[in-house]
Amino acid sequence: MDQAEFESAKKESESWYWWGVPTFFRCPWKEDPADCDIALVGVPHSAGNGSTERDQHLGPRAVRDVSGYYRRAHGVHNFAPFEESLIHDLGDVPLPEAMNNEACMRHIEAFYKRLDAVGTRPVSVGGDHSITGPILKAIAGSGSRLSGGKPCAMIHFDAHTDSYENMPHWLGVERSAAHWAAYTVREEAVDSSHSIQLGMRGHPSSIIHGKVVGNASKSLGYQMLTMEKIEDLGIEKTIEIIRQRVGDTPVYITFDLDCLDSAIAPGVSNLEPGFEGMSIRQATKILQGLKGLNVIGGDVACLMPTKDNPNKITSQVAMVMMFELLSLVSLSIKDATDA
């Protein structure tokens, strides 16, 4: 086999998901953020959630493994993001001090500042939910390019608010998976007046003096639609509320897989099995309803492959959500280019 035959054989093999080195959605692996419009990034971090299982760092590798087979055009948007935008797998954030959460927060923020500096929009897979804090700090707020130097709006899918402020740390972890939604507002990376949290459910941790503990999100200025409220409103009204809340503010979307029903996404940390979560159809329809917003980035968090079913269903669900996010980002880039 000469070189020409070898290259031809490789080209013919590229469409098969079991062939080659796995990357996110079979995208080229190139580490320079200046070479692409959208950067797909793995954040293999699990030192920010010390209260539950710690295997979230295996999430990026699991999604790379399954995403090779996923179809590459979006049937609802009638749009092919991989043809419309230059999308590369940038690899994983280097985390040489992986067991030191605060060091990892610095390393993650520094990694994403490289993307912001060249205007490349990130779509990431974690990793526990502490990863969202440093990503937001890197691409939004004073000096940022992607958000225009201002705090961004945030759309936050989760079973939990992650905005706890009644303790200075979480089992020794300061910028933890429990605190990031609070400090990003206080440090002016997130504009809570244009942000919304979706899908919260479960019993409260405690009741003091007859009141449920934990309304930090309200005091921070977030709007919250619990899972019960979403069921009452319906999907179309939920989408309308989100769009009104965000307006034309640059927006970041973070999707914690535990917002989904535990039967759909069993391989996550912090399961809430006592209350029904979102269905796949509810989650994807809400995301698809956000077309036209200026989405500057997004992430999928809290995948735990070691708890998943043999068919890797939670990894596949993470793949689906990542595809929806990168499609929204690609549509945003197209809108800006066409304007």
> Could you please report the per-residue DSSP string of 274-301?
TS--B-HHHHHHHHHTTTTS-EEEEEEE
pLDDT-derived band at 105, boundaries 50, 70, 90: very high
Cβ atoms of 159 and 277 within 8 Å: the answer is yes
- Bigger pLDDT: 216 or 106? 106
pLDDT-derived band at 207, boundaries 50, 70, 90: low
Is the per-residue pLDDT at 118 higher than 80? yes
Computed over its alpha carbons, how large is the radius of gyration of the chain?
A: 19
The ranges assigned to domains in the chain are: 35-338
Tens of pLDDT, residues 224-266: 999 999 999 999 999 999 999 999 999 999 999 999 999 999 9
C-alpha–C-alpha distance, residues 264 and 281, integer Å: 11
Token reading at 292: 């036209």
Burial code (b: 16+ CB inside 10 Å, e: under 16) for 10-38 equals eeeeeeeeeeeebbbbbbeebeebeebbb
How high is the pLDDT of residue 13?
A: 83
Tens of pLDDT, residues 9-32: 888 887 777 888 899 999 999 999
How high is the pLDDT of residue 2?
A: 85
Cβ atoms of 222 and 184 within 8 Å: the answer is no
How high is the pLDDT of residue 206?
A: 60
How high is the pLDDT of residue 168?
A: 75
**Residue the block writes with tokens 């920010």:** 48
How high is the pLDDT of residue 10?
A: 86
Cβ atoms of 89 and 28 within 8 Å: the answer is yes
SS (H, E, C) 37-71: CEEEEEECCCCCCCCCCCCHHHHHHHHHHHHCCCC
**Residue the block writes with tokens 């605060």:** 102
What percent of the chain has pLDDT above 70?
Answer: 96
pLDDT-derived band at 164, boundaries 50, 70, 90: confident
C-alpha–C-alpha distance, residues 7 and 5, integer Å: 5
Q: What is the dihedral of CA 136, 141, 142, 143, to 10 degrees?
A: 50
How high is the pLDDT of residue 194?
A: 98
Interhelix angle 313-338/280-288, rounded to 10 degrees, is 10
Sign of the Cα torsion 264, 266, 269, 272 reads positive
Token reading at 253: 């979307």
- Which CATH number is correct for 35-338, 3.60.15.10, 3.40.800.10, 3.40.50.720, 3.40.50.150? 3.40.800.10
Burial code (b: 16+ CB inside 10 Å, e: under 16) for 317-337 equals bbbbbbbbbbbbbbbbbeeee
How high is the pLDDT of residue 216?
A: 86
How high is the pLDDT of residue 32?
A: 97
What percent of the chain has pLDDT above 90?
Answer: 77
Per mean pLDDT, which range of 18-32, 47-61, 70-84, 277-291 is the poorest? 47-61
pLDDT-derived band at 50, boundaries 50, 70, 90: low
C-alpha–C-alpha distance, residues 78 and 16, integer Å: 23
Q: What is the mean pLDDT of residues 280-292?
A: 98
How many degrees, rounded to 5, is the angle at CA 310 between CA 305 and CA 312?
50
How high is the pLDDT of residue 209?
A: 47
Those residues whose C-beta lies under 8 Å from the C-beta of residue 281, and which sit 6 or more positions away, are none
pLDDT-derived band at 212, boundaries 50, 70, 90: low
Q: If you average pLDDT over every residue of the chain, what do you get?
A: 92
